[in-house]
Amino acid sequence: MSDSLATLVEDKKFSNFTIIHGYYKKVGDYDIRVDVLVPKKLSDGKRPVITRFHGGCLVLGDSLFPDWFAGWLLDLAYKHSAIIVSPNYRLLPEATGLDILDDVEDFWGWLHSSAFTDLLSKHCQPSNAIEVDLDRILTAGESAGGYLSIQLALSHPDEIRSATASYPMLDIEAPHFSAKYEKNILGTPQFPDNTVTDHVAKIEPGAVLTSATPPDRIPLMFAILQQGKFLELLQRGATSEADRKKLLPLKRIENNEAKLPPGGLFINHGTQDSVVPADGSEKFVRGIRDPMQGRVAAGNVTLSLQAGEHGHDAEANLDDEWLRDGLMGVVDFWLG
């Protein structure tokens, strides 16, 4: 284990969990890590599963970066003796959006393979063997991770019980992500115009990056948003209309093509979010509730808008009324 990974694992936020490291995919010479968080106190029986994706604008972050790992999600897993499976994935702009979605699909395949159960058994004694229930999966993620949580839920609605997403990136064609103008993002000053172009120009062919913990690449992330380069970088290499649509959740719910997991979807978003504006979540919910979208019932999706900036739920706990009420339906169905 590297020193940097050891530092993440030892963070007090994860003190109630045993963390198992594995790899779900190899790209060239690079292994892509997945972390399995097992509550130290487990009840008997097959354990439900939470698949969780980290945030970072698809540009930075790590599965175990504690500052961006929702405490309430850890509490939810601990309360219900659920196993959290949290993968890294390739990052922009070294990768493309299609590369990232490929990683998510390969992670999904790995989760349903013997490799996952072998990883668990390798780190557990026969006396405390862990049996997971892949018929009870809840998806989760923050920001870019919320985008991936919803993407996975739309791709596998019949194999996932319920879905959640915190301040997800959904309206990616909006000017915030696609146009250059002065944006007050967390009060950060404007970065030079060449921040993004210089970085992209230095990328070596075949370069792969799957982990970058702040403050690394923070200027790059903000510059991408400030200069409206996110949509362009996400869609790089997507030459067909079908591929471009695959990357855009709002496009995927058009024309009665959307289907959610049976337990529905809970989204939470801060109304003052300057990194990922909340109107993207509102637009997505309106689309999914459109009466023309007959395959999705309005009651299956809940949006909780709370005062606050990006990461507004950092101090939230399961006893907070807005969170408790928003989670109630999806969690009950997930565990049922």
Polymer length of the chain: 336
CA-CA distances (angstroms) from residue 128 to 43, 44, 76, 84, 131? 11, 10, 21, 17, 10
Cα–Cα distance, 194 to 307 (Å, whole number): 34
Is 155 a known active-site residue?
Answer: no
Following CA atoms 276, 12, 17, 136 in sequence, which dihedral angle do they give, to the nearest 10 degrees? -20
Among residues 63, 86, 143, 162, the one annotated as catalytic is 143
Q: Both tokens of residue 243? A: 């591929």
Three-state SS annotation for 24-68: EEEECCEEEEEEEEEECCCCCCCEEEEEEECCCCCCCECCCCHHH
Report residue 17: phi and psi, to 5°: -130, 145
Q: What tokens does 236 get? A: 């790089």
- Alpha-carbon gap, residue 86 to 64, rounded angstroms: 8
Instruction: Give the CA distances from residue 41 to residues 12, 77, 81, 169, in Å, rounded to whole numbers and listed in that order.
Output: 16, 11, 7, 34
**What angle (nearest 5°) sits at the alpha carbon of residue 209, between those of residues 207 and 215?**
130
Q: Which amino acid is residue 128, in one-letter code?
A: N
DSSP string spanning 123-187? TS-GGG---EEEEEEEEEEBTHHHHHHHHHHHH-TTT-SEEEEES----TTSHHHHS-S---STT
Cα(212)–Cα(194) distance, integer angstroms: 21
> Which residues carry out catalysis?
143
